[in-house]
Structure 1
Amino acid sequence: MARLEWGAQARGKWGCSYKRTTLVICSLNIVIALYVLRCLYSSMYLYSSNNSSSQYNVKYTPDQTQKMEESMRIRKASEPLELVEVVKNITKGLAEQKRRVNLPLHLKHMVRDEILQLLKSLPENANVTEQREAVENWRIAKLHEANQMILGQENVTLAISSDEAAILVDAMQSKWSLLMEEIGLWIPPIIINEVHDDKPPGTDEFEEEPLAGRPVPPECHAELHTDYDGSAVRWGLTHHKESAADCCQACLDQAKRAKPGEMKCNIWVYCPSEAGCYSPDIYEHKHQECWLKYAEKPKLNFKDKYSESYRSAHPTAPLVVPWVSGVVSA
């Protein structure tokens, strides 16, 4: 009996111990879990705070700054400059390719040869107006002949296919001025120097504005709204002068210093407009550009105003010629 009573007491004691032990362990686990969660939350908060503040409050030592500058110099020196230049040239080439007339070479030669033959057949004293009219009549006749070939008409003398005729028609209609420039046959616009008392309908006379800077000497023979042609003695894109008088003086000085056999400047062309000056080439001509040129027989490129026909072919051309130029004795 004593043994049975002792066993019951022992089971009761141990049963109570098991419950207490379980409660203690669970409590400890909960406390540890809460502690771990708190530590994780605190570390994340500190990390984000440090990162956000470091973006604005980073301070470098002089040694670190010197190393970063050295690293930037090394990285800049290691840039593939030649490759970048090649890419620029390719991009420029693609842009120029878009501007070109998509016409087979033999058709361009055909157009060039026929127009040259036409111009040679004109009288020697034919003026610009007669040349332009002759070329325009040739273009209209050639378009008519090409359209007949496309429609399958007989008695067509063009020795090309109907597909080539369609390409020729497109080029001569939509890109005629560009085609003329590509084949090297450019006829200057008609220059009209007649003075009329009455203004033409729909147009306004341009006002003569005084040139900035010191007066231009008489020996410079300055002509406003004028652009003379000639071979470049000094490239104006990199040659700027404060005034038209200074540009003319540069021409006179170059002619005096020129060595035997070198071209002597006898034409100066200056851009007095602060907005820059228009030209039918690919360059952007800026204020105070000074071109020094030479020509045995100076010829005008443009005078006073650009003609309506020229402006229709070159939409970016202004109404008035912005350049001022003059011919001096070399």
Structure 2
Amino acid sequence: MNMAWKEMKKNKLRYTILGSIIFLISLLTFIISGLANGLSQDNASLIKNLPNGTFYMEEEADETYNFSSLSEEQQQEITDGQSEAAFFSIQMGNFIDTSDKQRSVAYVASTDNMDFPEVDAGEVILDASLEEEGIAVGDEITNEQWEQPLTVAGFVSHEKFSHSAAAFINPNDFSAFFHTEAMQMAFIADSDIQGTNEAPAFEELQAFSNSDFLNTIPSYSAEQMSLNMIVIFLLVISGMLFAIFFYMINVQKLGIYGILKAIGVKTGKLFQMMWAQMLIISVISLILSIIISQSFQLLAPSGMPFHLTWPVTGLLSLVFIAIGFIGATLSGIQIKRVEPMQAIQQGEM
């Protein structure tokens, strides 16, 4: 470690440039990861907030919740086997607030269940983002297609679907507004499964885990895949930078390595020096990136979908260090192969 640090101080500019590049790449990776997670929450926090369980929709719906419709017989069959099952429906729509401004929301209706808010007829519970936009408890919201207004009864935090605020209404109101008596989907939490540890199967119904159901939401998988691919490419690029940088340095220092080997320095010691340099550069760069990315999360506007958790930050940091270790190690293979006399002669040329 002491030898590695002395060399870095002697060649400050060289290692500062590498550290700056790693800092920028890691910062960009943290920002994109926070954006991906924030968009995920903004797109599907309604589903992600539910406990682990199994979703059921009609097979003929072709994995599209809008086309699913559970008959009374199907609902009764599910209830007979799993009495704690919840039935719910989602419909994109809008309403007009007291200031005559139109708002887009995702209307959600469900049977009595602890996983969904209980709403009385004639009332609505909205996502808290609408409260920040001026809507208050007691306000009446209307729609040109409704015969009666709904009264805002309260707000819930982080309940969104398809980038729209959730609006929880009574199943009777949902039926009247959207002219349907059937519920679209069923949900059984893992903790509520009775008689077996596995989710039951029902005829003509398709089962989905939480993650599988998220992929049925339009744009969710494409959105997340695009951002996650960018993160992966940035990680790969950082590993390549380490490999190229240390390869170039090792080529320049073959003569020095030859002398060190000639006086008895083990190859493992040379690798340790290179790993120490990689670790110092990575840690300093990551600390700066974490400070800036977490500060950005605190200072970002409330409407920006950015959410970077500490577990994700820690995981990405470990991946960066692991990839840097691999890149540096690959570049150091030439150290193991170098012969003392040959390296000294190359250094003299």
Q: TM-score range by the shorter chain?
A: under 0.3
- Larger gyration radius, structure 1 or structure 2: 1
Q: Which has the higher strand share?
A: 2
| Greater relative CO (CA pairs within 8 A, separation 6+) | 2
TM-score, structure 2 as length reference: 0.18
